[in-house]
Amino acid sequence: MLDIKFIRENKGLVEKAAKDKHFKVDLDSILSLDDELKSLQSQLEELQSRRNAVSKKIPKVPPEEQESLKAEVAELKPRMDELGGQVKVLQDQFNEKMLAVPAPARADVPVGKDDAENVQVKTWGTLPSFDFKIRDHVELGQLNDWIDIPRGVKLAGSRSYVLKGDAARLESALLKFTLDHLYNKGYQQLSVPVLVKEDCMVGTGYFPNGRDQAYYIERDELALVGTAEVPVASYHSDEMLKEQDLPIRYMAQSSCFRREAGTYGKDTHGLYRVHQFQKVEQVIIAKADEADSEALHNELLNNSEQIMQALELPYQVVYVCTGDLGQGQVRKHDIETWMPSRNAYSETHSCSTFHDFQARRLKIRYKDSNKKKNFCYTLNNTAIATPRVLIPFIEVHQQADGSIFIPEALRPYLNGQEFIGKK
């Protein structure tokens, strides 16, 4: 959510930002509602002040004068109730419209329509070459009895799967390796709920715009999260933090759930786009300082790059254009890892900076050295997500016999094995 004062003073900028991000907003309506709200609130405050002043006079005047003052207080109440009701209706309308306004992207973010216009900024690693006919991850999974999609569908419907044997061990190893890597970087691990209140989804920007992507339990008014970012970023909601404690670095592993609405027929083969998966997320809560935010964004990105390099997986980093940014993101870099079966780099990580967009919704603030209250900045990045990362891992490291090479960094998590699978 943006500050209404910022919108009023930068209306053109916000309108252009919304257009660049493909969001439809009516800022004139928002500003008009704000004016009307202020007028009604001013009238209500005047009546409240009058009522309070008269009420204070009642015990101080002779009994014969008290009745007229009590009558005056009684006469004020219906008008105050009427104004209070009008304020509530307008406030709800105002809040709903404000929740739809996107955060402007940073000035250096490339303007573009969609992910096809993202800008490559870096590549790492050498693309693998094979002297045998390669298998994709599904074929390798079937050959080694590792991936059971038919039974996954039997259990949970489309886009479901079961990992077996060494594939399940590999998933656990990747997650634990990642957690250890971040622990050594000073990140504190949280174990968080994956069922959260609606306030958390709204606060992090996943509701109302992304409601169709979430699994929601109507009876309990709880949503299944699509990322641990939601509970971790919400962890300090409605809190006043100490400046000396910032930045706060968190990591969390969780199950994640996404309906993948609007993707019917897209990426249906294998493990690329599924309804349930495991992910380690990095979240940082920081001071409202652009230089600090820049450094922390790069730190999050570097953490994930180091993980991919240790896993010996070639990747590229792209600077995400305006048309591919989320509502609250002011900048984002994606890591796209090479997947031989797709003959392409495909997204495995998203590193995002939000400035105060989430903190303003979640009411996460801190006092600076001048005792001024500020909204924090929030940032996050995928550290690793499975089973998607299994696709490049087993495809890039496949051997002619269907076995998979295990890079040295991961071997301590797999009993020292250099290969898993067929021999």
Any idea which residues carry the catalytic annotation? 258, 273, 347, 350, 388
365 marked as binding residue: no
167 marked as binding residue: no
Residue 373: Cβ within 10 Å count: 9
228 marked as binding residue: yes
347 marked as binding residue: yes
> What contacts 24+ positions apart, CB below 8 Å, involve 26-35?
26/97, 27/101, 29/97, 30/4, 30/94, 30/97, 30/98, 30/101, 31/4, 31/7, 33/90, 33/93, 33/94, 33/97, 34/4, 34/8, 34/94
403 marked as binding residue: no
For Cα atoms 269, 274, 279, give the angle at the middle one, nearest 5 degrees.
130
Residue 92 has, within 13 A of its CA and on its CB side, a CA count of 5
Residue 126: Cβ within 10 Å count: 9
Question: Given the structure tokens 């083969």, which residue do they identify?
Answer: 269
Secondary structure of 121-172 in HEC code, one letter for each residue: EEEECCCCCCCCCCCCHHHHHHHCCCEEHHHHHHHHCCCCCEECHHHHHHHH
Tell me the C-alpha distance between 151 and 171, whole Å.
19
In 3D, which of 403, 397, 399, 393 has the Cα closest to residue 177?
393
Q: Reduced to 3 states, what is the DSSP secondary structure of residue 345?
A: strand
418 marked as binding residue: no
Burial code (b: 16+ CB inside 10 Å, e: under 16) for 260-294 equals eeeeeeeeeebbbebbbbbbbbbbbbbbbeeebbe
259 marked as binding residue: yes
Does the CA dihedral 133-139-145-146 come out positive or negative?
Answer: positive
Q: What is the DSSP letter of 111?
A: P
375 marked as binding residue: no
378 marked as binding residue: no
237 marked as binding residue: no
348 marked as binding residue: yes
281 marked as binding residue: yes
Question: Given the structure tokens 């991000």, which residue do they identify?
Answer: 21
169 marked as binding residue: no
260 marked as binding residue: yes
350 marked as binding residue: yes
380 marked as binding residue: yes
359 marked as binding residue: no
Specify binding-site residues for L-serine: 227-229, 258, 281, 380, 382
Specify binding-site residues for ATP: 258-260, 274-277, 347-350
Specify binding-site residues: 227-229, 258-260, 274-277, 281, 347-350, 380, 382
